[in-house]
């Protein structure tokens, strides 16, 4: 396990977004937890929403006076193949975990446990990858499992395996109430959505010239409408549905482009498989751009693509939350999405975008927004304000501080 260094963030820097009164209240709340040691553990320092959140959140906790740390698992590829199976199983896919796979999973965690001090006041363990650390640890303190996955319809044998490891935890946190299983064994169960950081490279303001330079670098035409889907290449995000929406929209409105944007984190072995499948399915269409970190796409480039988008898509069939939805809304881009998981918290039908059960519906709404600039502007502004009120990193920090206070009795 290795220590990850978060970006430098100061709570005071968010006064321009939240206002001085809200920031003062946040600092007052944090003062009661000054000196508390909080240890976050997850599976990767780069790629994916959890790493992005921790990159800002841990720094803000430290600025608030907590002794906040972020540790990342070190594991072979075989470990991540197993944890991806667990992820799939928790989201409803019928997978089978062998005894050998379970044993390897615990062996890797046992090896990691020898490299980190998990004797803090609060240990926050993110998602299934490091979940078993509690089973192996003799440390005290309060243990919290932060689940970022849609757990509404899990494959029962996988949930049983996960549930057994949860029995030593003091609390669990889910994005939505419907994700919290009735038989969750933790004494406390919390519901808390994640967040975006408005000041991060992915979300900070960009000038038009900077956006245009990035589009030119990747061969994207700023004069043609842009459909965009940002997310991992896996079966749950359903990038193939986004491709089909693009093809139907092109039939309705003529020239249009599709940007499929993703990162390839080390904890997701499915990424390369789906990249190859997607590359074959687009049949060389020059108006479909596959944009990955392998091509030099980082947080700044994603920011530019989202700001340039006419309509953002999120055709996920399962979704814990979908930070890319909040990112697009923050940039005043309306979103057309399936009503999966946490997307329903963000896309308010007819207010911040449109919810669509089918590809046909999604294409109809996307075409409408391409044709109606006034409607795009209205829904985009609504979306920005909705994210500002509910899904920013300072709101996330406030929710964590409340949970820590309850667990520690402060």
Residues 143-170 have a mean pLDDT of: 96
C-alpha–C-alpha distance, residues 323 and 314, integer Å:
10
pLDDT class of 294 with cuts at 50, 70, 90 = confident
| Domain 208-390 CATH assignment equals 3.40.50.2000 | yes
Whether the pLDDT of residue 265 is over 70: the answer is no
Check if the beta carbon of residue 170 is closer than 8 Å to that of residue 186.
Answer: yes
Scanning the structure block, which residue is given the tokens 């269409």? 285
In tens, the pLDDT along 189-232 reads 999 999 999 999 999 999 999 999 999 999 999 999 999 999 98
**Distance (Å, rounded) from C-alpha 181 to C-alpha 154?**
9
Selection from 146, 97, 98, 141 nearest residue 122 by Cα: 141
pLDDT the model gives residue 5: 66
Is the fold of 2-195+392-408 the same as that of 208-390?
Answer: yes
Residues 6+ apart with CB under 8 A from 120: 37, 38, 39, 67, 69, 139, 141
Question: Do the Cβ atoms of 333 and 352 come closer than 8 Å?
Answer: no
What does the longest C-alpha to C-alpha distance in the chain come to? 63
Query: Under CATH, which number does the domain 2-195+392-408 receive?
Result: 3.40.50.2000
DSSP at 392: B
With H, G, I as helix, E, B as strand and everything else as coil, classify residue 367: helix
> What does the pLDDT look like over 361-396, one tens digit per residue?
999 999 999 999 999 999 999 999 999 999 999 999
Collapsed DSSP state (helix, strand, coil) of residue 6: coil
pLDDT band at residue 262 using 50, 70 and 90 as cut-offs: very high
- Output the pTM of the full model: 0.93
pLDDT digits (tens, 9 = 90+) for 93-145: 999 999 999 999 999 999 999 888 899 999 999 999 999 999 999 878 999 99
Q: Locate the domains of the chain by residue range.
A: 2-195+392-408, 208-390
Which pLDDT score, from 0 to 100, does residue 387 have?
98
Q: Which of 23, 2, 20 is nearest to 11 (CA)?
A: 23
């Amino acid at each position: 396990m290795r220590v990850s260094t978060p970006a430098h963030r100061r709570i005071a820097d968010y006064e321009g977004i939240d206002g001085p009164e809200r920031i003062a209240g946040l600092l007052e709340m944090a003062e009661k937890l000054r000196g508390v040691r909080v240890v976050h553990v997850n599976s990767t320092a780069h790629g994916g929403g959890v790493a992005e959140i921790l990159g800002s959140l841990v720094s803000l906790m430290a600025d608030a006076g907590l002794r906040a740390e972020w540790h990342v698992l070190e594991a072979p590829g075989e470990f991540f193949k197993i944890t991806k199976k667990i992820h799939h199983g928790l989201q409803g896919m019928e997978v089978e975990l062998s005894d050998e796979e379970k044993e390897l999973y615990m062996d890797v965690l046992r090896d990691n446990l020898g490299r980190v001090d998990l004797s803090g006041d609060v240990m926050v363990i993110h998602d299934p990858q490091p979940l078993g650390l509690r089973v192996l640890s003799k440390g005290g303190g309060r243990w919290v499992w932060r689940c970022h996955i849609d757990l509404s319809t899990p494959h029962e044998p996988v949930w049983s395996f996960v549930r057994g490891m949860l029995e030593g935890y003091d609390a669990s946190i889910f994005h939505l109430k419907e994700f919290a299983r009735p038989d969750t064994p933790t004494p406390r169960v919390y519901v808390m959505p994640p967040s975006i950081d408005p000041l991060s490279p992915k979300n900070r303001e960009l000038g038009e010239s900077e956006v245009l330079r990035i589009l030119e670098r990747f061969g994207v035409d700023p004069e043609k409408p842009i459909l965009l889907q940002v997310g991992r290449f896996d079966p749950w995000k359903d990038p193939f549905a986004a491709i089909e929406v693009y093809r139907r929209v092109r039939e309705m409105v003529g020239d249009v482009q599709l940007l499929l944007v993703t990162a390839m984190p080390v904890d997701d072995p499915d990424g390369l498989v789906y990249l190859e499948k997607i590359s074959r399915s687009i049949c060389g269409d020059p108006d479909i751009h596959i944009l990955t970190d392998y091509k030099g796409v980082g947080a700044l480039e994603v920011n530019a693509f989202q700001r340039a988008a006419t309509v953002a898509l999120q055709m996920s069939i399962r979704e814990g939350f979908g930070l890319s939805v909040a990112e697009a809304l923050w940039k005043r881009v309306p979103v057309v999405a399936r009503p999966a998981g946490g997307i329903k918290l963000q896309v308010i039908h007819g207010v911040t975008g449109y919810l669509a059960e089918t590809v046909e519906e999604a294409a109809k709404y996307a075409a409408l927004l391409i044709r109606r600039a006034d409607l795009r502007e209205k829904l985009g502004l609504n979306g920005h304000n909705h994210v500002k009120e509910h899904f920013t990193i300072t709101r996330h920090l406030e929710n964590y501080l409340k949970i820590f206070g309850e667990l520690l009795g402060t």
